[in-house]
Amino acid sequence: RRVHHLRACFMVRGCAMTEPTFAERCRALREDLGLSRPKFAALIGCSPHAVKKWELAGKIPFRPYRDAFERIERQHRKGHRP
């Protein structure tokens, strides 16, 4: 089954902006945390290969991994290290 990425567009002060894809969010979060793919994968509870597929092939993770990712992302936005 192939998952296609759709970028959500919205208007900000008359300029069309696009929301980052999951792949962009994933890589940005991992790099902001200063983690390698294997260490980031261990934090989420998945394989490094899964993280690579999310970042490079644009795959969307299964719900438990997506939930873990979003929890880590929220903590990071609040200034907490996971």
Give the tens place of pLDDT for each residue, 38-66. 999 999 999 999 999 999 998 999 999 99
Using an 8 Å Cβ cutoff, are 3 and 59 in contact?
yes
Structure tokens at 29: 């979060």
Instruction: Determine the angle formed by the axes of helices 37-44 and 63-77, rounding to 10 degrees.
Output: 110
User: What residues does 15 pair with on adjacent strands?
Assistant: 12
pTM over the 0.85 mark:
no
Q: What is the pLDDT of residue 16?
A: 63
Tens digits of residue pLDDT in 14-23: 666 688 999 9
Q: What is the pLDDT of residue 19?
A: 86
Q: Is the pLDDT of residue 5 over 50?
A: no
Structure tokens at 62: 């299964």
User: Of 65 and 81, which is predicted with more confidence?
Assistant: 65
